[in-house]
């Protein structure tokens, strides 16, 4: 990391706070680079996106801690004992309530975790730290596919799971290309319905600190970062900034094309294919160097990959046209006389029309 410390002037943490006139927040700001433009990113400008400059992250873990503090009130407080699920073999409880301290992966109590990748690229050694959490996809499958309307994308570009409605079937995790949302059993609506037969808890993930954004404040992980790794702003500006930054460091962008576009853009001085290959599995914050030598496990649950991701909703988007054409074709067929002739009263099979 830290191969490139230059800040490309655009929407920065400072600009955000300054423009919002958030009193006192200025104290958080290191006196260094004041290159920021004066911008007021707000959801009235459309989707907000974040940019993570991976050349700057030192893996200190401040963001991980800040995320926990900021969102502690949203964490599940499950009621024990948990209902015996049916069928027991297939519906297992997922319980993180006794493992709240786990921070080397995503859990219902840890919405942000750090990954580490040591990469040699063009003869240079890089030690890349990567804050991982929900990508906030532009067309999120977790929200589109939720059968109950519990997961939604908002105009601000935030994808949010409503903990009062979620049944915890974990479909959103299955269809998320990064399997981000994590389940806690023993909480939520299912307890009041058919706890043994339907549902299994509530899914949790980064909601981009909407409670802070709503007040015009920065998400906790962005505000706390001593290295100014993250920037937030209207997506079109963040995209422009990411491209400029990538050009400047002769680097690469992740999130622009992935899953059709996300509202989280990573910029790195080394290719993401290389990062994905060596990304550590159990680094935890600030560790990662020697701790996992020799480990060959694949990226496990709660430890998202950095592979290329095709647009998983693309087929549905194409099929949507078919659903528009179909009734028109039916109407045309009708006008062409198809089925127009009433069959004679002697038609067989009277009442199977349902």
Partner 1 sequence: MQVRPYSAWISRLFILAVASLTLTGFMQMPLAKRYYVTMVPGLAWTGDFFLVHKLHYLLATLLLFVVGLVVVNWIKGWNRQLSLTPLGMARVGVVAGLVVSGGLRVYRNLPGVTLHPMAILTIEWVHLVLVMVLGVLALVALLRNCSAYAVRK
- Residues contributing to the site for partner 1 (CB under 8 A): 87, 90-91, 138-139, 144-145, 147-149, 152-155, 160, 162, 165, 169-171, 174-175, 260-261, 312-313, 315-317, 319-320, 322-323, 325-335, 338-343, 345-354
Site for ligand SF4 in 169-188 (CB under 6 A): 169-172, 176, 178, 180-181
For Cα atoms 33, 34, 37, give the angle at the middle one, nearest 5 degrees: 130
Q: Which of 1, 25, 52, 161 forms a contact with ligand SF4 (CB under 6 A)?
A: 161
Q: Which does 205 bind (CB under 5 to 8 A by kind): ligand SF4, partner 1, none?
A: ligand SF4
Q: Which does 325 bind (CB under 5 to 8 A by kind): partner 1, ligand SF4, none?
A: partner 1
Q: Which does 315 bind (CB under 5 to 8 A by kind): partner 1, ligand SF4, none?
A: partner 1
- Report in angstroms how near the CB of residue 349 gets to partner 1 at its nearest: 6
Query: Any contact of residue 151 with ligand SF4 (CB under 6 A)?
Result: yes
Query: Any contact of residue 167 with ligand SF4 (CB under 6 A)?
Result: yes
Whole-angstrom CA distances from 8 to 18, 35, 54, 94, 280 are 17, 8, 14, 43, 29
Query: Any contact of residue 209 with ligand SF4 (CB under 6 A)?
Result: yes
- Report in angstroms how near the CB of residue 212 gets to partner 1 at its nearest: 19
Q: Which does 330 bind (CB under 5 to 8 A by kind): ligand SF4, partner 1, none?
A: partner 1
User: Please, which residue, 243 or 305, has the CB nearer to ligand SF4?
Assistant: 305
Q: Which does 136 bind (CB under 5 to 8 A by kind): ligand SF4, partner 1, none?
A: ligand SF4
Neighbours of 159 (CB within 10 A): 27
- Within the chain, what is the greatest distance between any pair of CA atoms? 90
CA–CA distance, 222 with 231 (Å, rounded to integer) = 7
The stretch among 20-28, 89-97, 213-221, 266-274 that binds ligand SF4 (CB under 6 A) is 213-221
Q: What is the dihedral of CA 223, 225, 226, 229, to 10 degrees?
A: -110
Q: What is the dihedral of CA 53, 58, 63, 65, to 10 degrees?
A: 170
**Is-contact 273 58, C-beta < 8 A?**
no
Q: Annotate each residue in 5-24 with x if it binds ligand SF4 (CB under 6 A) or - if it does not, as one string.
A: --------------------
- Report in angstroms how near the CB of residue 156 gets to ligand SF4 at its nearest: 12
**Is-contact 146 171, C-beta < 8 A?**
yes
- Report in angstroms how near the CB of residue 65 gets to partner 1 at its nearest: 30
Residues in contact with ligand SF4 by CB under 6 A are: 66-67, 70-71, 111-112, 133-137, 140-142, 146, 148, 150-151, 159, 161, 166-172, 176, 178, 180-181, 203, 205-209, 219-221
């Amino acid at each position: 990391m830290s191969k490139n410390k230059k800040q490309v002037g655009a929407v920065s943490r400072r600009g955000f706070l300054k423009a919002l006139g958030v009193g006192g927040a200025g104290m958080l700001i290191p006196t260094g680079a004041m290159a920021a433009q004066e911008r007021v990113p707000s959801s009235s400008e459309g989707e907000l996106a974040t940019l993570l400059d991976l050349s700057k992250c030192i893996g200190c873990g401040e963001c991980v801690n800040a995320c926990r503090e900021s969102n502690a009130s949203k964490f599940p407080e499950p009621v024990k004992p948990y209902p015996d699920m049916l069928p027991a073999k297939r519906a297992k409880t997922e319980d993180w309530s006794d493992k709240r301290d786990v921070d080397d992966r995503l859990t219902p109590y840890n919405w942000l975790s750090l990954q580490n990748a040591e990469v040699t690229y063009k003869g240079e050694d890089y030690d890349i730290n990567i804050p991982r959490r929900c990508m906030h996809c532009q067309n999120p499958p977790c929200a589109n596919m939720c059968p109950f309307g519990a997961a939604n994308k908002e105009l601000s570009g935030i994808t949010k799971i409503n903990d009062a409605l979620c049944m915890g079937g974990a479909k959103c995790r299955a269809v998320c290309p990064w399997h981000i949302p994590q389940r806690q059993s023993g909480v939520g609506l299912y307890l009041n319905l058919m706890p043994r037969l339907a549902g299994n808890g509530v899914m949790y993930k980064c909601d981009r600190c909407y409670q802070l954004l709503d007040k015009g404040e920065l998400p906790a992980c962005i505000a706390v970062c001593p290295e100014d790794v993250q920037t937030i702003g209207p997506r079109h500006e963040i995209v422009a900034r990411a491209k400029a930054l990538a050009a400047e460091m002769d680097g690469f962008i992740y999130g622009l094309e992935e899953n059709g576009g996300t509202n989280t853009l990573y910029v790195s001085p080394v290719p993401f294919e290389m990062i994905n290959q060596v990304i550590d599995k159990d680094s935890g914050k600030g560790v990662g160097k020697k701790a996992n030598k020799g480990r060959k496990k694949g990226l496990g649950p709660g430890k998202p990959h950095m592979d290329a991701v095709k647009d998983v909703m693309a087929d549905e988007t194409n099929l949507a046209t078919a659903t528009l054409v179909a009734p028109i074709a039916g109407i045309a067929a009708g006008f062409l006389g198809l089925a127009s002739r009433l069959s004679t009263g002697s038609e067989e099979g009277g009442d199977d029309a349902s």
